[in-house]
Amino acid sequence: MDVGLDRLTKLPALVARLRSARVGLLCHAASVDRRLVHLIDIMASLGVSPAILFAPEHGFGAAAQDMATIGDEIEPETGARIVSLYGAELADLIPQEADLRGLDVLVVDLQDVGSRYYTFVWTALLAVRAAARVGVHVVLLDRPNPLGRATEGRSQEPGFTSFVGWELIPIRHGLTLAEIVSHFAASDGLPLGPSAAVSVVSVDGWDGTREGALDRPWVLPSPNMPTADTALVYPGGCLLEGTNLSEGRGHTRPFEVFGAPWLDGRALARAFAELGMEGQAVRPLTFIPTFHKHGGVPCGGVEVHPLDARFRPVAVYTALIALAARLAPRDFAFRTERYEFVDDVPAFDLLTGSARTRQAILAGEDVRALVAAVSEVDDAGREVARAALRASVAASW
């Protein structure tokens, strides 16, 4: 399998265009080819020196924690300015016109993890829209979805879009970053293709499976995405961010491990086992987060072990959160603080895409019923998937 960056050097027309252009890059630490050579070094080997670099959430080096404000930097090898696209305000997510003017081409290469909450795809989409306004062509170097083509979770309801879901798609969307971005670019009316506003260097040789997507070493795209196993649980595990349960930040297995000082992990594991859900093992444990929620405090909780293709992370973690709320009703709470630049909608609602699941958990509704309500893919989500595949093909080199 060759990802977009692997294929870049094999496309003479694109290489010639880059050599004659003023080029900007939107990339991060995981923007590497199969030999683990970074995009900047590949550009240098082609005789292309980027005029400016843009970095998504977590920064150019993928070192910053979640929702940490990041300032601009200088890239030491090239001397190029690194412009952060994750500042303190919502406006900081969009490349400024002054930074784009003078560019001919913006090359985007970001490793996504297959969940609508993961912000890189929305950073790329916002960059495409900003570039189109000033006539800068965008080349999307695509990568396979490390979760494969499987889908899970409803699209958001109106009023529940945010930077953890800028446009309406399923939670586990089964698409690549370039497929999503080219689809919404086309929906905006932007022309697709090498001579148009947005083009794609697609993945070659991927069979659509999770196993096929992972044919090379994993390079963590953010500090709490250390392995491809983390990515597999993340469509469900990220829901923990909307609660006062530790999602395992400050532990070596974030999102796979979670809990709280007041949670009985054994009781939670037993209650989950009674649901009869297949595809995973849920094991009780104790852990001490070194930072973040409950940092330095012993926590009871569980570790989620995916076992096979029947594992449905959104369903599993929704059930576990609902059971935790039932086991510790006086201690469990949903997050009320500002989340991803939004003050007036609870984080859990932004993540699930509506207020329904949070309200159902608080009302003590049947766990199986509320799990089905949030994990089912709706018709609109299925249509987005079909349209995204068509758009990516139309944009391809």
Q: What phi, psi does 323 have (nearest 5°)?
A: -70, -40
Give the model confidence (pLDDT) of 320-340 as tens digits: 999 999 999 999 999 999 999
pTM of the model: 0.97
Contacts of 180 (CB under 8 A, 6+ apart): 121, 125, 167, 169, 173, 388
CA distance linking residue 135 with residue 52, whole number of Å: 16
pLDDT at 373: 87
CA distance linking residue 14 with residue 2, whole number of Å: 16
Residue 376 reports pLDDT greater than 90? no
73-77 contact pairs (CB < 8 A, 24+)? 75/40, 77/40
Residue 343 reports pLDDT greater than 90? yes
Contacts of 366 (CB under 8 A, 6+ apart): none
Residue 301 reports pLDDT greater than 90? yes
* CATH architecture assigned to 228-375: Alpha-Beta Complex (3.90)
Ordered by start, the domain boundaries in the chain are 4-217+381-395, 228-375
Q: What phi, psi does 108 have (nearest 5°)?
A: -115, 125
Q: Pick the closest to residue 154 from 174, 137, 166, 169 (CA basis).
A: 169
Give the model confidence (pLDDT) of 84-116 as tens digits: 999 999 999 999 999 999 999 999 999 999 999
Residue 375 reports pLDDT greater than 90? no
Which CATH fold would you assign to the domain 4-217+381-395? Answer: Rossmann fold (3.40.50)
Mean pLDDT score, 212-222:
96
